[in-house]
Amino acid sequence: MAKNQKSYTPEFKQQIVDLYNAGGTSYPQLEREYGVNRSTLSNWVKQLSPIKVSGEETVTLKEYKALQKEIQRLKIENEILKKATALFAKEL
């Protein structure tokens, strides 16, 4: 991160996203009120807005990406265990 770049708390980001998603506040209004660049606001909204998965269940894009990463890690781990099992079975 650049030295002169502002950093915002996760709570602040979520509050801004909630204001936008409530429908009463636009990007230009948020930009003027909070001094946050429009592209930054757009990124926050994309990452932190809830996505309806099924019924009452929602997930954010950030959580979705974390889940995808975990799935990939588990697939690799599973392949390693399959290969290890095959090697141990040969030894017996």
Phi, psi of 43, deg, nearest 5? -65, -45
What ranges make up the beta strands (E) of the chain? 50-54, 57-60
Domain 10-91 belongs in CATH node 1.10.8: no
Residue 3 has pLDDT above 70, yes or no: no
* Per-residue pLDDT tens over the stretch 8-62: 999 999 999 999 999 888 999 999 999 999 999 999 999 898 888 888 888 888 8
Give the pLDDT confidence score for residue 71 in this predicted structure.
97
Q: Which residues contact 44 (CB under 8 A, 6 or more apart)?
A: 13, 16, 17
User: Could you tell me the pTM of the whole model?
Assistant: 0.64
Which two tokens mark 78? 């599973």
Phi, psi of 53, deg, nearest 5? -90, -55
Report whether 63 contacts 46 (CB < 8 A): no
Give the pLDDT confidence score for residue 2 in this predicted structure.
59
